[in-house]
């Protein structure tokens, strides 16, 4: 099974990620990671840090001559601003005096300070920061590369920002990723794009932030990933956990879940047909899963992201040291990060799906994995 571990702080010297379980022989170049990290910086409404972050990536282990070795893969993403933050983040000596004691509502600050008995919110926010998702995006680039070898692709798009929603039911296909990325809000519906931009502009002008909804679609998924036999192997549960692990994501929907909840059973399910030698569905209400398993074709998952909690117009809080009323401190100034969160969504979904592939088709080499997948597809196609 594919698994990964990240480490590092937002303003520390670097982030690093170790990916374990990748079969040998998977073609891989650092440009695969650089491309995904650059996409993570996309989106109208981001703060000035996105213009200066370069995400310099270094490969330490697990790949040689452009192929994975089957051993753990280690990547480091250097922080280009480290020289400006070295004194504040110093691992030696006493605090510099820049102690943050006014926790931000909506962030991890207060709960983390109380849980870990820390007097400075920076001890919490540095790790809780969404900057950590750069390391997950790097791990996702590896997972995407593996999935490509078995004919699976992942794409995302933004379907709502604030009160502006896409007016189109047309979803991007596997070949439409570049077109989505060209949109300032990563929306596939050009007619709704400007409305979303306006939502961000109005929030920014008011010193505020705005959230939204994005969708991740996985194409080329075979039937049978995940399992019904144990709760922790259910595919939809794994996808939900992956999405909810993204900072500021507060809700997840598989398929048309919230709309289906309003319907009767005769209208809610994807009926089964046998046509041209295979089982097919003419509808896609379930988002590609039934009973904790993929039903073949596509997976479709949406995530709702709340407005960011660091605001130009800070909210009321309490100074943890004095217990007096205060206003929350300000650490960064993004007005909207939904387009970038969608790219992170692609990464975490790719990792979850790749892990399910390796659980079902256990293999030490890419060749063995492909052969196992092909044999399985041949068997179920004749069922």
DSSP for 140-184 reads HHHHHHHHHHTT-EEEEEEEEETTEE--------TT-HHHHHHST
Q: How far is CA 15 from CA 48, 60, 88, 107, in A?
A: 20, 13, 17, 21
Task: Report the pLDDT value the prediction gives residue 91, as an integer from 0 to 100.
Answer: 67
Nearest CA-CA partner of 24 in 58, 71, 66: 71
How far is CA 302 from each of CA 216, 367, 373, rounded to the nearest angstrom? 6, 33, 27
Among all chains, which residue has been given the structure tokens 């979803």? Answer: 171
Q: What pLDDT was estimated at residue 124?
A: 97
Q: Measured between alpha carbons, how far is 18 from 16 in angstroms, rounded to an integer?
A: 7
Beta bridge partners of 63: 68
- Tell me the chain's radius of gyration from C-alpha atoms: 22
42, 76, 125, 217, 301 from 355: Cα distances, Å: 27, 22, 29, 17, 17
Whether the predicted model's global pTM rises above the 0.85 cut: yes
Whether domain 3-381 has CATH 3.20.20.140: the reply is no
Give dist(CA 184, CA 43) in Å, integer.
Answer: 5
User: How is residue 55 annotated by DSSP?
Assistant: -
Q: What is the pLDDT of residue 55?
A: 87
Residue 24: per-residue pLDDT: 98
Taking the domains of the chain in order of start, what are their residue ranges?
Answer: 3-381
Q: Which of 105, 143, 102, 142 is nearest to 119 (CA)?
A: 102
How many DSSP H helices and E strands does the chain contain? Answer: 13, 16
CA 13, 128, 335, 314 dihedral sign is: negative
Question: 10-residue block means of pLDDT along the chain (383 residues)?
Answer: 94 96 97 96 77 82 97 96 87 70 96 97 95 97 98 98 94 96 96 96 95 98 97 97 98 97 96 91 96 97 95 93 94 88 98 97 97 95 70
User: Cα–chain-centroid distance for residue 272?
Assistant: 32
Contact 333, 207 (CB under 8 A): no
**Predicted pLDDT of residue 94:** 63
CA distance readout (Å), 233 to 5, 216, 342, 356, 381: 20, 20, 24, 8, 24
Containing H/E element for 109?
helix 109-116
Residue 53, pLDDT score = 63
How crowded is residue 12: how many other Cβ atoms within 10 Å of its Cβ? 18
Q: What is the pLDDT of residue 154?
A: 98
For position 45, what pLDDT does the model report?
Answer: 84
pLDDT at site 49: 58
Instruction: Supply 1's token pair.
Output: 């099974």
């Amino acid at each position: 099974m594919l698994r990964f571990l990240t480490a590092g702080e937002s303003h520390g010297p670097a982030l690093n990620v170790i990916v374990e379980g990748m079969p040998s022989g998977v073609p891989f170049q650092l440009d695969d990671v650089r491309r995904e990290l650059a996409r993570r910086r996309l989106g109208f409404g981001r703060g000035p840090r996105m213009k200066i972050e370069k995400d310099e990536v270094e490969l330490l282990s697990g790949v040689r001559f452009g192929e994975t070795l089957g051993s753990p893969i280690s990547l480091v993403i250097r922080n280009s601003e480290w020289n400006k933050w070295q004194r504040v983040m110093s691992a030696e000596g006493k605090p510099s005096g820049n102690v943050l004691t006014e926790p931000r509502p909506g962030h991890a600050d207060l709960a983390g300070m109380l849980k870990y008995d820390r007097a400075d919110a920076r001890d919490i926010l540095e790790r809780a920061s969404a900057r950590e998702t750069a390391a997950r995006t790097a791990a996702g680039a590896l997972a995407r590369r593996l999935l490509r070898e078995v004919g699976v692709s992942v794409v995302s798009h933004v379907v709502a920002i604030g009160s502006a929603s896409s007016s189109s039911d047309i979803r991007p296909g596997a070949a439409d990723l570049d077109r989505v990325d060209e949109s300032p809000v990563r929306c596939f519906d050009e007619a709704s794009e400007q409305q979303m931009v306006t939502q961000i502009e109005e929030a920014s002008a008011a010193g505020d932030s705005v959230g939204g909804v994005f969708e991740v679609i996985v194409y080329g998924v075979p039937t049978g990933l995940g399992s019904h036999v144990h709760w922790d192997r259910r595919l939809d549960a794994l996808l939900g956990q992956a999405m909810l692990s993204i900072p500021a994501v507060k809700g997840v929907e598989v398929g048309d879940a919230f709309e289906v909840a309003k319907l009767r059973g005769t209208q809610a399910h994807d009926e089964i047909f046998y046509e041209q030698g295979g089982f097919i569905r003419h509808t896609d209400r379930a988002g590609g899963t039934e009973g904790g398993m993929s039903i073949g074709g596509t997976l479709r998952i949406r995530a709702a992201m709340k407005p960011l909690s660091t605001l130009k117009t800070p909210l009321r809080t309490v100074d943890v040291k004095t217990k007096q009323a205060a206003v929350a401190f300000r650490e960064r100034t993004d007005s909207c990060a939904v387009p970038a969160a969608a790219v992170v969504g692609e990464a975490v979904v790719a990792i979850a799906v790749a892990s399910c592939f390796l659980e079902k088709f256990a293999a030490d080499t890419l060749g063995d994995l492909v052969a196992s997948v092909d044999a399985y597809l041949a068997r179920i196609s004749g069922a």
